[in-house]
């Protein structure tokens, strides 16, 4: 009998929420079969089995938050020389079919012993006897999943189903291993309303006068971090309106360029490049303050704030200052897509040095963003709208936006803040400065 304890999913995290079990008591599991999906303060992670056997019991329920090292499942059978004291095999990393990283064979906190698997002798099964001919039967349409059994679906598919209000237990699976695919979910969402179960309908003002939502996972981590930042670092915020007409013209040209074929180009890309350019001129904004010292970073791990169904995530692009414009565009696109699909690895959430928040996508003109803990600056890009603007003494329609930002006044003085924001605005007004 083996007990699998909740491992550290990465970056020294101490707890995780059990999101969904992929197995049930009585199921047979092999090494590296996915047992469950957990949510940490940073990401969704699939946990594979470190041993083989038969599932005897699930020791924690879905929705429960448990600490690292807690026994979560009991499996009988397997090779006793393979795993000792519930310690799984060597940690490896593999890629799943969607390209996301899946951790395989974790150890519990404190490490795990590594043992080689014993070679197994596989015998060919006896040849089956030929079946007795029978009259052909009419085809039977596929049935939805058994509501009492596990639903096989990757994390991005589960997120899509949650966003569309689709109950995975009522979806007909067409995947190669009986799993629910993205197309399955989309077909279910487009089916007539009468075909959808009442439990999955997302109706406003239903379910009583109040709804109580536990604060956990990403939302809890974000709330604690924002409170710490707001009441620790003295924030100062500045704003300026910018004529971004030439930026919009550049974005249009880049979209038509062969070099950017297949790459998403938006004003956020020009803003990111403008920030990198301005940081080089005012490096103090890219720093970390402590009572003992001010650490000025000579590299930029550029965070991009992303709103996701799991809450606000701020993954960052490592050494963004080294990237060309097209490589920066690819990095931003990949980072935001991964965040929205719930596949951001913990490492991408660590060691950021400066952040952009694009509130313009929500129609907002400006705001006073809160700093990420450990950072001294954050820039907010507002909506870009056509407005009357004075050009050479004449009022003309121009594309206008507001650039705002918050800074840690312990690390950055007012004159540096003003110069930095003015530099960012100057690039949005005349992006040709980037190549001078």
pLDDT of res. 179: 82
Please, are residues 407 and 235 in contact by the beta-carbon 8 Å criterion?
A: yes
User: Same topology for domains 2-104 and 217-435, yes or no?
Assistant: no
Q: Which residues contact 38 (CB under 8 A, 6 or more apart)?
A: 6, 9, 16, 17, 18, 19, 44, 45, 47
SS (H, E, C) 314-347: CCEECCHHHCCHHHHHHHHHHHHHHHHCCCCCHH
Is 297 annotated as catalytic? Answer: no
SS3 357: strand
pLDDT of res. 321: 97
What residue spans define the domains of the chain?
Answer: 2-104, 155-196, 217-435
Q: Which residues contact 277 (CB under 8 A, 6 or more apart)?
A: 423, 427, 433, 434
Superfamily grouping for domain 217-435: Chloramphenicol acetyltransferase-like domain (3.30.559.10)
Q: Count Cβ atoms below 10 Å from residue 63 Cβ, excluding itself.
A: 11
What are 66-88's pLDDT values in tens digits?
A: 888 899 999 987 554 443 333 44
Task: Determine the angle formed by the axes of helices 245-255 and 267-281, rounding to 10 degrees.
Answer: 120
**The Cα angle at residue 85 between residues 83 and 87, in degrees rounded to 5:** 55
- Nearest to residue 286, comparing CAs of 201, 422, 183, 377? 377
pLDDT of res. 436: 56
pTM of the model: 0.61
Give the whole-angstrom CA distance, residue 151 versus residue 23: 9
Q: Which CATH architecture has domain 2-104?
A: Beta Barrel (2.40)
pLDDT of res. 280: 96
CATH class of 155-196: few secondary structures
DSSP 264: -
Give the whole-angstrom CA distance, residue 278 versus residue 282: 6
pLDDT of res. 216: 77
What are 219-244's pLDDT values in tens digits?
A: 777 788 888 888 889 999 999 999 99
How far lies 218's CA from each of 185, 250, 377, in Å?
25, 36, 22
Task: Determine the angle formed by the axes of helices 182-190 and 155-164, rounding to 10 degrees.
Answer: 10
Catalytic, out of 145, 235, 351, 409: 409
- State the first-to-last Cα distance of the chain, in angstroms, to the nearest integer: 68
pLDDT of res. 371: 94
Please, are residues 89 and 113 in contact by the beta-carbon 8 Å criterion?
A: no
Please, are residues 378 and 366 in contact by the beta-carbon 8 Å criterion?
A: no
Give the whole-angstrom CA distance, residue 421 versus residue 120: 65
Give the whole-angstrom CA distance, residue 300 versus residue 26: 51
Per-chain mean pLDDT for the chain: 79
Q: Quick one: CA torsion of 317, 322, 323, 328, rounded to 10 degrees?
A: 30
Give the whole-angstrom CA distance, residue 77 versus residue 54: 6
**The Cα angle at residue 118 between residues 113 and 124, in degrees rounded to 5:** 145
Which residues of the chain are under the pLDDT cut of 50?
80-127, 129-143, 145-148, 193-203
Q: Which residues contact 115 (CB under 8 A, 6 or more apart)?
A: 81, 82, 83, 89
- Nearest to residue 399, comparing CAs of 358, 359, 360? 360
């Amino acid at each position: 009998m083996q007990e699998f304890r909740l491992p550290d999913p990465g970056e020294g995290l101490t707890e995780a929420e059990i999101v969904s079990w992929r197995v049930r008591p009585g199921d047979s599991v092999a090494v590296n079969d996915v047992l469950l999906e957990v949510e940490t303060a940073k990401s969704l992670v699939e946990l594979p089995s470190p041993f083989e056997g038969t599932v005897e019991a699930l020791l924690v329920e879905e929705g429960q938050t448990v600490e690292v090292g807690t026994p979560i499942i009991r499996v009988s059978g397997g090779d006793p020389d393979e795993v000792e004291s519930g310690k799984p095999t060597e940690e490896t990393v593999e890629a799943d079919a969607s390209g996301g990283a899946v951790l395989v064979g974790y150890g519990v906190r404190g490490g795990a012993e590594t043992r080689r698997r014993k070679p197994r002798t596989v015998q060919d099964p006896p040849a089956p006897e030929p079946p007795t001919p029978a009259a052909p039967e009419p085809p039977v349409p596929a049935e939805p999943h058994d509501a009492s059994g596990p639903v096989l679906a990757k994390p991005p598919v589960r997120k899509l189903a949650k966003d569309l209000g689709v109950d995975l237990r009522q979806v007909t699976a067409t995947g190669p291993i009986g799993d629910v695919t993205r197309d399955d979910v989309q077909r279910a969402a487009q089916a007539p309303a009468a075909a959808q179960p009442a439990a999955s309908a997302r109706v406003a003002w239903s379910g009583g006068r109040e709804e109580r939502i536990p604060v956990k996972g990403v939302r809890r981590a974000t709330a604690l971090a924002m409170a710490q930042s707001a009441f620790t670092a003295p924030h100062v915020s500045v704003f300026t309106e910018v004529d971004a007409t030439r930026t919009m013209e550049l974005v249009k040209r880049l979209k038509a360029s062969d070099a950017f074929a297949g790459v998403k180009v938006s004003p956020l890309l020009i803003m990111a490049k403008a920030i990198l350019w301005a940081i080089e001129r005012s490096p103090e904004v890219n720093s970390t303050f402590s009572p003992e010292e001010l650490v000025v970073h000579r590299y930029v791990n550029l965070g991009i704030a992303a709103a996701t169904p799991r809450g606000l995530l701020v993954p960052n692009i490592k050494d963004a200052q080294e990237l060309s414009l097209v490589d920066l565009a690819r990095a931003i696109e990949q980072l935001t897509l991964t965040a929205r699909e719930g596949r951001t690895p913990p490492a991408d959430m660590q060691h950021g040095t400066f952040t952009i928040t694009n509130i313009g996508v929500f129609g907002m003109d400006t705001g006073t963003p809160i700093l990420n803990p450990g950072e001294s600056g954050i820039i907010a890009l507002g909506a870009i709208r056509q407005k009357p603007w004075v050009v050479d003494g004449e009022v003309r329609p121009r594309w206008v936006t507001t650039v705002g930002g918050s800074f840690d006044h312990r690390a950055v003085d007012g004159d540096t803040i003003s110069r930095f924001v003015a530099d960012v605005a100057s690039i949005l007004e005349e992006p040709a400065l980037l190549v001078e």
